[in-house]
Amino acid sequence: MASKNYELQDNIVRAGGKYTFYGVLKEFYGEIFKNAKAESTRNSYNSIYNRLILPELTAERAIETYTLEDYEGVIDRIKEKGSYSEATIGTYRYLIRAVVRLAAEKDICEDVLFGTEFSIPPTEKPERATEKELVVNRKSLSAREEAALYDELMVDPMQTGEKMGLALMYCLGLRNEEACGLKYGAIRGMSRHPECFYAQIFQSINNETGEEHIGGKTSNMYRYIPVPDRLLWMINQRAHRLEEASGERVDEYYIACRGDQYKEQCVSRHLTAAGRAVLRKIHVNEDVVSYIDRRLHQDTGDMDLRVKDPTTYLLRRNLGTHLYLLGMNETEIQYIMGHSIEDPYIIRNHFGNEDLLYEIHQKMKNRPFLNDLYPYMREVGLDDAYRYHHVASAPEIHLSAASQEKSTLLLNLVCDEPCAEIEIKAPHAVRTEVITAPPHAKSLSRRTNIIKKYHGVYKKATRHLVEG
């Protein structure tokens, strides 16, 4: 008995002169399913479109207006109509994805499904998907990806508000709703170190209502995060130009505004959409983002994962990796990331002390890309008066003394890496004496000092960057 031949049921191809979802499917069917040679396969696909997918879409709506949430809503409504296996639902996602991908390739709409569960092949077995997730689920970007991200987010201070929100997430490790709630007035200078600035993170924006409220998804949200040089330059430039244009102070303006509407804040979904577009543009492997998205939609107790945004996941975890490489201890990392502090002797309020915050700021100055001259070499000038200089994570340090009188200079040098060599060159000194403390007399760090190799990797990727 021959199988029934299913044809696509006629529907609206264009709405207001623009392609509908059905219009793209009908017009480019041969290109979308060029690999589906069997007639039975096409009949099956057509049946699914006619019975399940197309009825859940608005016939007279242009495909360019659909969002990820719209397509997720289609899948949710299909699930409500029957009991389907996850493999079957995967096929439905695939059929929606195929149309959107082709439309994006032809610049008919944005690829709002890039890096989502919709991109995972329906033939992927659950156990294989889990295995693959563990392999591709990276916790940081590569140096090449960061260089491309810098070009996208850290060059134009008057870029869209959504991109400014992504810049905040990239530089400060903020969650979506935290980036949406940050205002210009929350960027403050330290009283004892006025050249050092930090962001006060204390309010967020509700994704559903757009309302501003104090606090966020966790009680650990409240924190001060040092602002790197490049981000500070962008924020200052942006604020200055807005003040010139508006004739008023912008302290209460949102940094992550909606487009160019500088008084209207973004909400999380705006940054999610912008983030996916940027990750696609800088050629982050779609598998990386898709399998993160898969994990985010699974039941998990990890607060960072339950925000359901691969962009947030990638950019926050990327900062966490940098903090570790910069030599921060676990407590400092937990504080900056907004996690619970596990040290019973330290509470979050302790970091309101500028001395503790300044130490974090100095370590973060070594982060590549985002600081004007992250110090491969640090130069420190000394005068006759007693001075204490704390120089962290610099592979080379040059000291210069201004005094013309005969004097004694005492240096206390401590390696991050146990038993590492310290080389001292004092060409103008009359006499040098090195006193080495035995291991039992000092507290040895268990952290390996890889700052020089870390900088070397990023230095190669920064050669094309021009000073702003």
> What average pLDDT does the segment 41-70 reach?
93
Q: Which of 80-84, 165-169, 175-179, 443-447 has the lowest mean pLDDT?
A: 443-447
Of 21 and 119, which is predicted with more confidence? 21
Q: Indicate the fold that domain 14-113 takes in CATH.
A: DNA polymerase; domain 1 (1.10.150)
Predicted local distance difference test score (pLDDT) of residue 227: 96
Q: Report whether pLDDT(410) > 80.
A: no
Predicted local distance difference test score (pLDDT) of residue 1: 34
Q: Report whether pLDDT(17) > 90.
A: yes
Predicted local distance difference test score (pLDDT) of residue 20: 97
Q: How many CB atoms lie within 10 A of CB 464?
A: 8
Q: How confident is the model at residue 466 (pLDDT cuts 50, 70, 90)?
A: very low
Beta bridge partners of 396: 377
pLDDT tens for 266-286 read: 998 899 889 888 988 988 877
Of 154 and 130, which is predicted with more confidence? 154
Most confident of 98-112, 273-287, 428-442: 98-112
pLDDT > 70: percent of the chain? 77
> What average pLDDT does the segment 431-437 reach?
71
Predicted local distance difference test score (pLDDT) of residue 247: 93
> What average pLDDT does the segment 136-155 reach?
84
Identify which of 166, 148, 132 has the alpha carbon closest to the alpha carbon of residue 319.
Answer: 166
Identify which of 81, 79, 99 has the alpha carbon closest to the alpha carbon of residue 28.
Answer: 99
Identify which of 395, 394, 399, 387 has the alpha carbon closest to the alpha carbon of residue 427.
Answer: 399
Q: Report whether pLDDT(132) > 70.
A: no
Q: How confident is the model at residue 425 (pLDDT cuts 50, 70, 90)?
A: confident
> What average pLDDT does the segment 461-466 reach?
61
> What average pLDDT does the segment 22-39 reach?
90
Q: Report whether pLDDT(293) > 90.
A: no
Domain ranges of the chain: 14-113, 143-364, 375-468
Q: Which of 13-17, 100-104, 232-236, 378-382 has the lowest mean pLDDT?
A: 378-382
Could you tell me the pTM of the whole model?
0.69
Identify which of 282, 280, 271 has the alpha carbon closest to the alpha carbon of residue 309.
Answer: 271
Whether 307 and 176 have beta carbons less than 8 Å apart is answered as: yes
Q: How many CB atoms lie within 10 A of CB 52?
A: 18
Predicted local distance difference test score (pLDDT) of residue 282: 87
Distance from C-alpha of 220 to C-alpha of 170, rounded to nearest angstrom: 19
Q: How many CB atoms lie within 10 A of CB 317?
A: 19
> What average pLDDT does the segment 326-334 reach?
90
Of 135 and 159, which is predicted with more confidence? 159
Q: Report whether pLDDT(251) > 60.
A: yes
Q: How confident is the model at residue 71 (pLDDT cuts 50, 70, 90)?
A: very high
Average pLDDT of every residue of the chain: 81
Q: Report whether pLDDT(69) > 70.
A: yes
Q: Report whether pLDDT(429) > 90.
A: no
Q: Indicate the fold that domain 143-364 takes in CATH.
A: hpI Integrase; Chain A (1.10.443)
